[in-house]
Amino acid sequence: MEPIKVTAIFDIGRTNKKFFLFDQDFKEVFRVYHRLGFIEDEDGEECESITELTKWVKQTLKEALALPDFLITKLNFTTYGASFVHIDQMGNPVAPLYNYLKEYPEEILEQFYALYGPPEKFSRETSSPALAMLNSGLQLYWLKYAKPETFKKVHKSLHLPQFLSYLFTGKAVSEYTSIGCHTGLWDFGKGTYHSWVNKEGIDQILPEVVDTTTTFAKTFDKHSMRIGVGVHDSSAALLPYLQSNNQPFALLSTGTWAISINPFNSSNLTTGELRQDCLHFLSKEGRAIKISRLFIGEEHKIQIEKLYAHFNLEKGYYKALDFEKERYEKAKSQTKKRFRFEYLKPEVYGLTQTKETDWQGFTDFEDAYYSFIHELTELQVASLNLVLKDTNVQKLYIDGGFNANPIFVEMLRDKLPWLSIETTDFALGTALGAGMMVN
């Protein structure tokens, strides 16, 4: 029997590394899930091992090419953003893949904003809230002044999706979805790189910008295929929905971050919205798309660990819970907040939180968990409303990890009654979107 023609996709999250094969109808026919441990950079801080990631990507593709049932004709990549790989002229990394949560030296930040700020003006121009290392363009500025010897070795700085593509094509390029995700690199008013990029000579190490649908015909391990240039994960997640909808909609893409995306809203950002972690992405064509972000995955992870420890329960317990209206009504009827968040700041949205979590006030795990998700979804609604307001969107899709949490979903349905909320099985949405980019 003839092998079936398939598209191969690497979907690289911070936690999970995934590889998929899709047939010509974009049905998944093969998958590999993998986890890579963090290493330490030269400052002793956690980071992704670019060596191990490179090794795993090449080995995984090699093994997939040897599968007799499939013929890989297309290959693409989607990864988390705010991450650069700095390479020399031979294409070898000259620095670690620095973690976007790494501390940014205050004196270098002050130096940057003294020259190119103030922060609120710069944020409006670049549609990027002031996020230090998460503004990946500022990582380049930091490298130049904090580690000048390393910076001198940099021939090109590639966003992570484009670096993975480069491993197989040898083509150093950039594309809009990676440039446009809170990097501080792009002047959204002028539709080009911000003036600071040229003034600092950073433009010399940024590769040419190509369309996100660009592909190269290449051979790997004696197999010919068309290879895409990679795409930022949140932008990739949006594409399957754009393909299947002719009415305005919004997408809540959940994982470590909950990203609220309204592709039908490109309105200018206010200073207040920027303070609430609202920003613009660039679409694959370079058009502004309004989004807002909330760090709910990480918050959920840390609070769940505390809940398990307090109630002496096995990990995974919450996953077996169904939505119970009575428990929700009880959580809703509380007049005082009961949870202290680790990462989230309710005051940014005009909401309050308690000074300490009220552990003794909970009767059981469910009581505590419902209170937590109630307070979490209040924040999620506030974040969503930043991109929904002044638009006629009446449908919301939820994909990613939280779409399988009925308590989270039903609370959102109750709090957003004017929206039709659908959970989707596009757990593969990000990978599918990357596959659709390769023509």
- DSSP per-residue letters across 321-382: PPP-HHHHHHHHH-SS-----SS--GGGGT----SS--GGG-SSHHHHHHHHHHHHHHHHHH
Listed residues 204, 229, 254: the one ending a domain: 229
Provide the pLDDT for residue 427: 56
Query: Hey, which residues does 351 pair with through a beta bridge?
Result: none
- DSSP per-residue letters across 96-126: -B--TTSPPPHHHHHHHHHHH--HHHHHHHH
Residue for token pair 């996709």:
9
Together in a domain, 54 and 139: yes
Together in a domain, 222 and 302: no
In angstroms, rounded to a whole number, what is the distance separating the alpha carbons of residues 279 and 19?
Answer: 30
Listed residues 195, 229, 263: the one ending a domain: 229
Largest CA distance in the chain: 66
Together in a domain, 300 and 217: no
On whether residue 286 sits in a domain, the answer given is no
On whether residue 199 sits in a domain, the answer given is yes
Together in a domain, 218 and 301: no
**Residue type (1 letter), 364:** D
On whether residue 202 sits in a domain, the answer given is yes
Which structural domain range is residue 8 located in? 4-229
Provide the pLDDT for residue 134: 94
Together in a domain, 179 and 55: yes
| Structural element, H or E, at residue 217 | strand 215-220
| Structural element, H or E, at residue 8 | strand 4-12
**Residue type (1 letter), 360:** Q
Instruction: Report the CATH number at residue 114.
Output: 3.30.420.40
Task: Tell me if 39 sits within 8 A of 98, measured CB to CB.
Answer: no
On whether residue 368 sits in a domain, the answer given is yes
On whether residue 31 sits in a domain, the answer given is yes
Together in a domain, 215 and 306: no
User: Which residues are CB-neighbours of 11 under 8 A, at least 6 positions away?
Assistant: 17, 18, 19, 20, 78, 79, 233, 428, 430, 431, 434
Together in a domain, 225 and 306: no
Residue for token pair 């398990």:
308
Together in a domain, 197 and 302: no
Q: Which residues of the chain have pLDDT under 70?
A: 425-427
Listed residues 229, 263, 285: the one ending a domain: 229
On whether residue 277 sits in a domain, the answer given is no
Provide the pLDDT for residue 119: 95
Strand 223-228 to strand 215-220: parallel, antiparallel, or no bridges (unpaired)?
antiparallel
Provide the pLDDT for residue 437: 92
Provide the pLDDT for residue 425: 65
Q: Phi and psi for 139 in degrees, rounded to 5?
A: -65, -35
Together in a domain, 202 and 336: no
* Six token digits for residue 91: 């294409």
**pLDDT digits 0-9 by tens, 246-256:** 899 999 989 88
Task: Tell me if 39 sits within 8 A of 99, measured CB to CB.
Answer: no
On the 0-12 / 13-18 / 19+ scale of CB atoms within 10 A, 360 is exposed
* Six token digits for residue 428: 């593969």
Which three-class secondary structure state does DSSP give residue 128? Answer: coil
Which three-class secondary structure state does DSSP give residue 206? Answer: coil
Provide the pLDDT for residue 426: 60
Provide the pLDDT for residue 54: 98
Q: How many CB atoms sit inside 10 A of residue 329's CB?
A: 11
On whether residue 213 sits in a domain, the answer given is yes
Q: Nearest-5° angle of CA 219, CA 221, CA 226?
A: 30
SS3 content of the chain, % helix, strand, coil (to 5): 40, 25, 35
User: Which residues are CB-neighbours of 409 under 8 A, at least 6 positions away?
Assistant: 323, 398, 402, 403, 421, 423
Provide the pLDDT for residue 93: 98
On whether residue 128 sits in a domain, the answer given is yes
Together in a domain, 216 and 310: no
Together in a domain, 54 and 195: yes
In angstroms, rounded to a whole number, what is the distance separating the alpha carbons of residues 286 and 188?
Answer: 10
Provide the pLDDT for residue 14: 87
In angstroms, how far is CA 399 from the centroid of its own chain? Answer: 13
Together in a domain, 311 and 202: no
**pLDDT digits 0-9 by tens, 20-45:** 999 999 999 999 999 999 999 999 99
Q: How many domains does the chain have?
A: 2
- DSSP per-residue letters across 150-190: HHHH-SEEEEHHHHHHHHHH---EEEHHHHTSS-S-EETTT
First to last CA, the chain: 26
